[in-house]
Structure 1
Amino acid sequence: MESTTATRISFTTSDGLSLAADVRHPADAPTLLFAHGFGQTRGAWKAAAATMAARGCRCVTFDSRGHGESDHVPGGDYHMEQFVDDLLGIARVQPQPPILIGASMGGLLGLAVAGETRPSPFRAMVLVDITPRWETSGVERILAFMQAHPDGFASYDEAAEQIAEYLPQRRERKSEQQLRPLLREGADGRLRWHWDPALLSGSLIMESERYQPRLLEAAAKVDVPVLLLSGERSDVVSHRTVEEFLALVPHARHAEVPGATHMLAGDANDAFTAQIAGFMASLERVDADVDAIKQPATRC
C-alpha cells in the first residue's frame, strides 16, 4: 500500500469491545499513535496522519469507545479507567513503543498511562492543547456544543451551520462528504452525532474533575520526552496551566502555535505536523548521541 493510504483495522479491548482504527505505512517505520479528544473520531487526525505517513512514519489512529465506529459500552456505563486501559492495551500491541500524539482527552489518558506504567509503553509524548489542570470555561464550552442538539439535525447543511458557528476560525465550511462520518441517521430520519449519548449523561463527565489530582501526580512521574503544543487562542490551556505543567515535568518542551484554538491540529495542520517532525528529529539526535557514548573509545 502507499504510505498515506489508510488500512482499516480494529483493536479488541480487555472487556471485549471492538475499536475501529486505521493504520498508515508499514510496521517497520517509527510509530505515531494518535488519540483524539472527547467527542471526536480518528478522522480528526486524517490530515496529520497522512502528512506524517508521507514523511515515513507508521501512523495509527483509532476511535475511542463510544465514539465514531467503535463499540458502545452496553448499558452506557462509561468510566475513565476504561479509556486508560484501552490506550494502554493499544500501545502495548504496537511493533515498537509508539510516540503518543494525544489531543485533549487523548492527552490526559496518555499522561495517566505514562505516569503510572513502568516501563512506559510510549517512546515519547506530544500533548495537544491539554494540561493536567485545564480551564473549566473552555471545557464547558465544548460540552455545551455536544449537548446542544439532542434531537439532531434535519439536514447536513443544518449541521454544517452549527459547526461553522462553533468554529468561526475555520474558513472552509464542512461538506456533506466530510460530515457523513460524524453523523448517524436515526429511524426518524434525523441526523445525530456519532458519539454514544450516554457519554454525556453518565458518570464520565462527573469523574473528569476528580481525575485532576491523579493526573497532576502522574505528570510528575512521566519519564519520557514530552512536547506540549498549545494554541495561541485556546480557552482550555492557558499560560497558568502551561507553567504549572512545565514545573511538574521540567524536561518537557513547550511550543505555542500562532492563531490556533483548542482544535489545534484542525486549525493549523502544517504548523502542527512541522512541530511533530521537529520533535522526532530531536529524539533521533538524542538516540544518536547515546549510541556514540556507548561505542568504545578509539585509540591512536
Structure 2
Amino acid sequence: MTLVRFQGFGATSLEAEVSGDEHDPAILLVHGAGQTRAVWSVVVEGLVQAGRRVINLDLRGHGGSDWPESGAYDLDAHVGDLRAVLAQLGSRPVVVAATLGGWIAALALETDAANLAAGLVLVDMPVGADPETAKRIGERLRQQPSQGDARWDPRAVAHLDIEVVRQRLLRAAPALVLPTQVVRGGIGWVGQAASSIEFDALLPNAEVVEVEDADLLVVTDRTEAFLGRLLDFLERKQPRSAAEFRAGSDARTLRDAMGCFATGVTIVTACDAQGTPIGLTANSFTSVSLDPPLLLVCIANTAGTAPILREASHFGVNVLQTSQQPASNRFAGKGEDRFAATPWTPGETGVPLLDGSLVSFECRRHAVHDGGDHFILVGKVVRAAFEPRRDPLLYFRGKYRRLHFT
C-alpha cells in the first residue's frame, strides 16, 4: 500500500491509499459522509486479491485530505475534486462510490463519462428523501464521533440540500453512458423511494442489485455479500483480460482500440468548381514519402464534402494548434458556414489555408484509393509552412488533449 496525494479543486490536497499491481485494472473508491477511506478496508483486500489496483480516496474534510478553513464543502467543490483526481490517473477506473460519494461520482461523470471512467457502482445512494428523514440522517451524521481513522469535519454535511441534489441527479442520470451498477440494501427505504426508482429508469446502461438483510449501510452491514456482487459486475464489465477485436465482432471495440493511438488534428480544405471553399476535420493523416514529398488523409465516403475532395486537383491540410479547438468542432459539425467564423487566406494554389495553424500543407492530388468506408487521398506537397513555437492540438480516446511536459 502506498500513500499518494492528488491536487483537487481550488488547490485542495486529497490523500489516497493505492494498493495492488499497477498493471491491473483500476478501481477508485469514494466513501460517504461521516466516513473515511477506512470504511473500505475489507473491500480493498478482496479487490486486490481478485487482481485489481485500488485507489482508496479520502474526500475533502475527511481523513487525511485537506480540511478547507473556508468551509468549502459545497457539492460542486467535491465534484471538481473527483474530476481532478480522474484526470490525474493513468487509466480509466471503475468508480465505486457510497452515499455522498455516489452523489459526487454521478455528477462528476455527467460530462465525458466514458472518457473519465470505465464503469460506475453506486452504493446506498439516496436520490431523495422526505424532509423528516433527511433531517434525521443529518443529525445522526453530525453526532457521529470524529476520531482516529474516522476523523471528519462536521461542516462537510452542513449545507447539502437533498432536494437540489435530487433534481441534479435526475438531470445527470441520462448522461451516465457507461456500465453502471446500483447496489442497495433490500430492507432499506432508499430503494423503495419514488425518486430512486425514477433515477434507476433514467440510467442508460444500468443494473440494480439488492443485498438481502441489509438496511442503509450495505458496505459495513453486509460486506462480503456486497463484495461478491461487485466482483461479479467487474468480471462481466471490466474483465482482467484485454478487450479484443476479431473479424466480424463488435466494431465499437475496434474503434476504441484505434482511439488509443494518439493523433494530431487536421482540417482538410479545397475549393469546389465555383471556387467556394470547403473543408472538414480529419485525424487520419500521415506522411507517406519524402522523395517525392507525399502525404495522405483518409476521408469518410459519407462526408458531405467527400465528392469534392475526391475530384479536387489541389487540397490543403491544416494541422491544428491548441487554440484552434473551436475550429476543429466547427469543421466537424454541420449546418454552419464554417469559413465565415474561421480566418483564412488562399494559398499559392488557391486552396484555403487557415490562419494560425501549426502547419499548412498545399498539395496537388497524386492518387486516390478506395479504403472500405473511407477513401485515401494522397497528395504531393508543393508548399509547407509551419510555426514551431505553438503546441499541437491532440486527440486521444475520443477527447481533445494537450501536451503535458514532465
- Measured after TM superposition, the shift of residue 243 of structure 1 is 2.5
Q: Given the superposition, is the C-alpha separation of residues 118 and 106 from structure 1 closer, same or farther in structure 2, using an over 3 Å criterion? A: closer
* In structure 1, distance between residues paired with 2:5 and 2:220: 24
1:256 aligned residue (174, 191, 210): 210
More moved, 19-28 vs 112-121: 112-121
For 1:205, the equivalent position in structure 2 comes to 160
Q: Show the 5 A alignment for 1:13-92.
A: 13-92=8-87
CA contact (8 A) 2:73 2:157 kept: no
Greater relative contact order, per chain length (Cα 8 Å cut-off, separation 6+): 1
Over 3 Å counting, the alpha-carbon distance change for 1:226 and 1:86 in structure 2 is same
The match for 1:226 is 180
Q: Deviations over 1:246-295 (max 9, x none)?
A: 3201421011000112111111111111111111121147x988724159
CA contact (8 A) 1:132 1:219 kept: no
Q: Verify the 8 A CA contact 1:48 1:269 in the aligned structure 2.
A: yes
Instruction: State the 1:29 CA deviation.
Output: 0.7
What's the offset of the Cα at 1:144? Answer: 1.3
1:101 and 2:96 equivalent?
yes
CA deviation string 1:88-139 (max 9, x = no partner)? 1111222210000010111111111222235541101011021533565544
Q: Match for residue 10 of structure 1?
A: 5
Does the C-alpha gap of structure 1 residues 288 and 17 become closer, same or farther in structure 2, counting only changes over 3 Å? closer
Amino acid at match of 2:175: K
The answer for the alignment partner of 2:152 in structure 1 is 195
Task: Using structure 2 for the length normalisation, give the TM-score.
Answer: 0.57
Q: What displacement does 1:234 show?
A: 2.0
Higher strand share: 2
In structure 2, the CA distance between the partners of 1:199 and 1:30, relative to structure 1 (3 Å rule), is same
Tell me which of 125, 132, 135 is aligned to 2:127: 132
Alignment correspondent of 2:137: 142
- Structure 1 consecutive aligned stretches of length 4 or more whose deviation exceeds 4 Å: 134-138, 287-290
Cα–Cα, structure 1 residues 29 and 135, in superposed 2: closer, same or farther, change >3 Å? Answer: farther
**Partner of 1:283 in structure 2?**
237
Match of 1:23, SS state, is strand
TM-superposed CA distance for 1:79, in Å, is 1.3
Q: 1:215, CA displacement in angstroms?
A: 1.5
Q: Aligned pair in 2 of structure 1 residues 72, 93: CA closer, same or farther (>3 Å)? A: same
Please give the secondary structure, in 2, of the residue aligned with 1:259.
coil
Deviation at 1:147, TM superposition (A): 2.6
CA distance in 2, matches of 1:289, 1:9: 29
1:122 matched to 2:117? yes
Count residues with an aligned counterpart: 250
Q: Aligned-pair distance for 1:41?
A: 0.4
Question: Greater helix share, 1 or 2?
Answer: 1
Name the TM-score, length of structure 1 as normaliser: 0.75
How many Å separate the matches in 2 of 1:247 and 1:72? Answer: 36
Out of 67-76 and 33-42, give the one that drifted further: 67-76
CA distance in 1 between partners of 2:149 and 2:34 (Å): 13
Which residue of the other structure, out of 217, 233, 240, is the alignment partner of 2:171? 217
Structure 1 residues 112, 98: closer, same or farther in 2, change over 3 A?
Answer: same
* CA shift for structure 1 position 211: 2.7
Q: Structure 1 residues 294, 146: closer, same or farther in 2, change over 3 A?
A: closer
CA-atom RMSD, angstroms?
Answer: 2.6
Q: Distance in 2 between matches of 1:20 and 1:106?
A: 15
Which of structures 1 and 2 has the bigger CA Rg? 2
Matches of 1:106 and 1:41, distance apart in 2: 11
Q: Which residue of structure 1 aligns with residue 148 of structure 2?
A: 180
